[in-house]
């Protein structure tokens, strides 16, 4: 049996070292996402070269690895922004659809937060959050706005509901973007370097919101270069290299006792010294 598909994570399994007993978060539940030998190519270039992975319910999975290693590509394959060239991604046991109408429904179940916040510039923070539920889910305006206020409160922005994006800091805009994604009631949140474009002083406020979401049990996949966040908040860390998984395991393994020397090299390049 493929170790990555086992409900029991086995640190060291990738190298054949004796596995230490470690129960992954959500191991008793059906996995939310399963990637089976996923391949994605662009012409001759292989961006994902047979990635097999599972994401359990309530788990925070951090994807780390060098630039160009395929992390964003995997996220795009997750919400069907890309078509696969091989393998399969299963959401709740069902293969991702290819028909556009079904793809839209699946995408609604995944909240996506990008490095660039992509808020609507001519709408207030409140309307940015309320708009999706009104236009896509057909929610009544009053109800959507009430919910949007609660979500802005959750991300610490109740006093900024009427501000337009241009009058919010980067960290505040990103928190609105998180509230907007949550407004659709997603089962999974996908984050692609959500703090990379932020001024250092606003990074913490966004990471704190993400940490709170994790504590509430949201299933999350987070591509990040914030190693201390990954160390503290992730339940499972996956290290990518050249479109493949170099190593995966609990944060204690990856950051304190990596089983693959190149994981250690990658982390020390980033200045990670534990």
Ligand X SMILES: Nc1ncnc2c1ncn2[C@@H]1O[C@H](COP(=O)(O)OP(=O)(O)OP(=O)(O)O)[C@@H](O)[C@H]1O
Distance of closest approach, residue 42 Cβ to Mg ion, in angstroms:
14
Give DSSP secondary structure letters for 206-273: HHHHHHHHHHTT-EEEEE-S-HHHHHHH-SEEEEEETTEEEEEE-HIIIIIS-SSHHHHHHHHHTT--
Q: Does the protein bind ligand X through residue 195 (CB under 6 A)?
A: no
Report, in Å, the least distance between residue 203 CB and ligand X. 17
72 binds ligand X (CB under 6 A): yes
67 contact, one of Mg ion, ligand X, none, CB 5-8 Å limit per kind: ligand X
- Which of 47/181 has CB closer to ligand X? 47
* Nearest CB to ligand X, comparing residues 71 and 180: 71
- Please calculate the CA angle 237-79-245 and round it to the nearest 5 degrees: 30
Contact 203, 194 (CB under 8 A): no
Residue 7 DSSP code:
S
Instruction: Give contact residues for Mg ion (rule: CB under 5 A).
Output: 72
Binding mask 25-64 for ligand X (x = CB under 6 A): -----------------x--x-x-----------------
Contact 189/217 with Cβ under 8 angstroms?
A: no
Considering the rule CB under 6 A, would residue 159 count as an interface residue with ligand X? no
Position 79 contacts ligand X (CB under 6 A): no
Judged by beta carbon, residue 42 or residue 120, the one nearer ligand X is: 42
Q: For the CB of residue 73, give the shortest distance to ligand X in the complex, in Å.
A: 3
Question: What CA–CA distance (Å, rounded) separates 227 from 232?
Answer: 9
Closest contact distance (angstroms) between CB of 270 and ligand X is 12
Nearer to ligand X, 65 or 111 (CB): 65
Q: Which is nearer to Mg ion, 168 or 222 (CB)?
A: 222
Kindly state whether residue 177 participates in binding ligand X, applying the rule CB under 6 A.
no
Q: Give residue 161's Cα distance to chain centre.
A: 26
Q: Which among 8, 51, 42 is positioned nearest to 246, based on CA atoms?
A: 51
Smaller CB separation from Mg ion, 69 or 172: 69
Rule CB under 6 A: say whether 73 interacts with ligand X: yes
**Alpha-carbon torsion 129, 80, 73, 256, what sign?**
positive
Contact 148, 177 (CB under 8 A): no
Rg (CA), the chain: 19
- Interface size with ligand X, residues (CB under 6 A): 11
- Which residue of 24, 71, 107, 147 would you call a contact of ligand X, by CB under 6 A? 71
């Amino acid at each position: 049996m493929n170790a990555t598909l086992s409900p029991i994570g086995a640190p060291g399994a990738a190298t054949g070292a004796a596995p230490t007993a470690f129960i992954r978060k959500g191991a008793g539940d059906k996995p939310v996402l399963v990637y089976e030998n996923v391949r994605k190519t662009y012409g001759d270039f292989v961006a994902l070269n047979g990635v097999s992975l599972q994401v359990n319910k309530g788990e925070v999975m951090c994807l780390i690895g060098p630039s160009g290693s395929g992390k964003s590509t995997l996220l795009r394959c997750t919400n069907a922004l890309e078509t696969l060239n091989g393998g399969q991604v299963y959401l709740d046991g069902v293969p991702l659809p290819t028909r556009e109408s079904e793809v839209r429904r699946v995408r609604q179940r995944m909240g996506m937060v990008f490095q660039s916040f992509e808020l609507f510039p001519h709408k207030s923070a409140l309307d940015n959050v309320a708009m999706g539920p009104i236009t896509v889910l057909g929610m009544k305006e009053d109800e959507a706005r009430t919910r949007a206020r609660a979500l802005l409160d959750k991300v610490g922005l109740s006093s900024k509901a009427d501000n337009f994006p241009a009058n919010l800091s980067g960290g505040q805009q990103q928190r609105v973007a998180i509230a907007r994604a949550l407004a659709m009631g997603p089962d999974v949140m996908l984050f692609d370097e959500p703090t990379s474009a932020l001024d250092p002083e606003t990074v913490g406020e966004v990471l704190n919101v993400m940490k709170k979401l994790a504590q509430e049990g949201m299933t999350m996949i987070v591509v990040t270069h914030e190693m201390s966040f990954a160390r503290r908040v992730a339940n499972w860390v996956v290290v990518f290299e050249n479109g493949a998984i170099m190593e995966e395991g609990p944060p204690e393994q990856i950051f304190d006792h990596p089983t693959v020397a190149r994981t250690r090299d990658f982390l020390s390049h980033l200045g990670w010294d534990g």
